[in-house]
Amino acid sequence: MPHYRYQAQLASGQVTTGVLSAASATAAAESLRAQGGQILRLSPTSVSTTSLAERLRAINQGGGPSARDVLNFTTQLAVMVRAGIPLRAAIEGIADQMDHIRFRRILTNIREDIEGGKQFSEALARHPKQFSVLYVNMVRASEMSGSFSRMLDRIAAYQAQQLETRSMVIGAMIYPGVIASLAVSVTIFLLTFVLPKFADVFKGKEAAMPWPTKFLMGLSAFMVDWWWAVVLGLIASGVLFALFVRSEPGRWWWDRTKLRIPLFRRMFRALYISRSLHTMGELVNAGVPMLDSLAITGDISGNRMFERLWLTVQASVKQGKKIAHPLGRSSLLPRTVVQMIAAGEESGKLGEVLDEVSAFYSNQLRQTIKTVTSLIEPIMIILMGSIVGFIAMSIILPIFKMSTLVK
């Protein structure tokens, strides 16, 4: 049973605090009032009565719920609400069947907040790591318009598409990462295990060795003697790069670089355009105010360059200008997209236009990922073959040269 920490004022005027067990926040409040107390504060406490097995399972689950968990919750909730099940009962039923311990607690807290008189959007806003600003604002808009179940369907569809897009991009990045790791591993193996075996063969014959062989033998000796320094240097470089990218200047540099990297820039550009326009289209169609929609779009775009663009558009709209006006001065969006947005504003069908454009760029993103993947494969194979071939020729050339001198 949940525990609640309370602060109440007794009839005598004395203020008392403590923890009590109750089925819900409402039941806890009624219990305190029955004792003649005036409630000053009542909130769930971290006291837990879960079993040792549940605690171990929560530890094994690591962090909080994933985006897939939130999507499954949204889909189930939409079905149950559409079937006429009350919101509180629907959330309670989903929480009872939830395998993720931490997410179950979050859903329990949301149900208790609803029982305590809060709106569903308010209860969701207390958990920003799991429910984004977009999620909360779309739910809030549906509460005002009375289209709750349909809005949950739209939210679930949006989350599903974003997950699919993310999976495609990650999948496109995994392949070159695996090939690059394999190339580095083969190179290290040749330098540290194969080349040292030829050191005795070439010893005293340095004058007969071509410069590639001298370079590789020196590099091999350095790797064998100072491998620990190389490992520490790589780890330190990775940590420093990660810290730099997380800093404010690093974030700007990395987001700008992703839009300039050859071969990958088209993919990232299509990703950010699709995500931005899809997010804005969902918010506009949900009835979220335009200024809030632009701020949320910038926050969810995933790139500081696009975030700055949408915040600039927001500032322009505050001055009474149209959305297409500042977009036309930016190079981040193609001119055709700006023209379609302008046409949507003029016709009053901005939401529909944004949906169509975002769908077009989602399809373009899929095609771009296929193109990038197909181009990366031969490039990585040629690169790997060149490295291995260079090492092999550096070993074979001096052997041929020495055999010629012997003859």
Query: For residues 311 and 133, what is the distance between their CA atoms, to the nearest angstrom?
Result: 16
In this predicted structure, what is the pLDDT of residue 241?
92
Q: Helix axis angle, 148-189 relative to 350-406, nearest 10°?
A: 10
H or E segment at 5? strand 3-9
Q: Among 258, 280, 268, which residue's Cα sits nearest to residue 364?
A: 268
Q: Helix axis angle, 101-115 relative to 25-34, nearest 10°?
A: 50
Query: For residues 50 and 39, what is the distance between their CA atoms, to the nearest angstrom?
Result: 27
At 382 the three-state DSSP class reads: helix
Query: For residues 102 and 35, what is the distance between their CA atoms, to the nearest angstrom?
Result: 33
CB-CB neighbours of 286 under 10 Å: 24
Query: For residues 46 and 162, what is the distance between their CA atoms, to the nearest angstrom?
Result: 33
In this predicted structure, what is the pLDDT of residue 101?
84
At 15 the three-state DSSP class reads: strand
On whether the CB atoms of residues 29 and 39 are closer than 8 A, the answer is yes
CA atoms within a 13 Å half-sphere pointing along the CA-CB vector of 310: 24
Report residue 287: phi and psi, to 5°.
Answer: 90, 15
Report residue 255: phi and psi, to 5°.
Answer: -65, -35
The strands making up 38-44's β-sheet, listed across from edge to edge, are 15-21, 3-9, 38-44
Query: Tens digit of pLDDT per residue, the chain (407 long)?
Result: 566 666 676 666 666 666 666 766 667 677 767 766 666 666 666 444 444 444 444 444 455 788 888 888 888 888 888 888 888 888 888 888 888 788 888 888 888 888 888 888 888 888 888 888 888 888 888 887 777 888 888 888 888 888 888 888 787 778 777 877 887 888 888 888 877 877 777 676 666 677 777 888 888 888 888 888 888 998 999 899 999 998 989 999 999 998 888 878 888 888 888 888 888 888 888 888 888 888 888 888 888 999 999 999 999 888 888 888 888 888 888 888 888 888 888 888 888 888 888 888 888 888 888 888 788 778 878 887 888 788 778 777 777 766 665 54
Distances (CA, A) of 303 to 76, 78, 92, 162, 281: 31, 31, 37, 15, 18
Query: What residues have CB less than 8 Å from 156, skipping those under 6 apart?
Result: 71, 74, 75, 78
Residue type, 265: R
Distances (CA, A) of 40 to 6, 23, 43: 8, 20, 10
Query: For residues 61 and 50, what is the distance between their CA atoms, to the nearest angstrom?
Result: 15
Query: For residues 41 and 29, what is the distance between their CA atoms, to the nearest angstrom?
Result: 10
**Measured distance between the N- and C-terminal CA atoms of the chain, rounded to whole angstroms:** 92
Query: For residues 188 and 191, what is the distance between their CA atoms, to the nearest angstrom?
Result: 5
Distances (CA, A) of 350 to 159, 260, 347: 21, 30, 8
Query: For residues 120 and 110, what is the distance between their CA atoms, to the nearest angstrom?
Result: 8
Distances (CA, A) of 77 to 74, 93, 115, 127: 5, 9, 17, 17
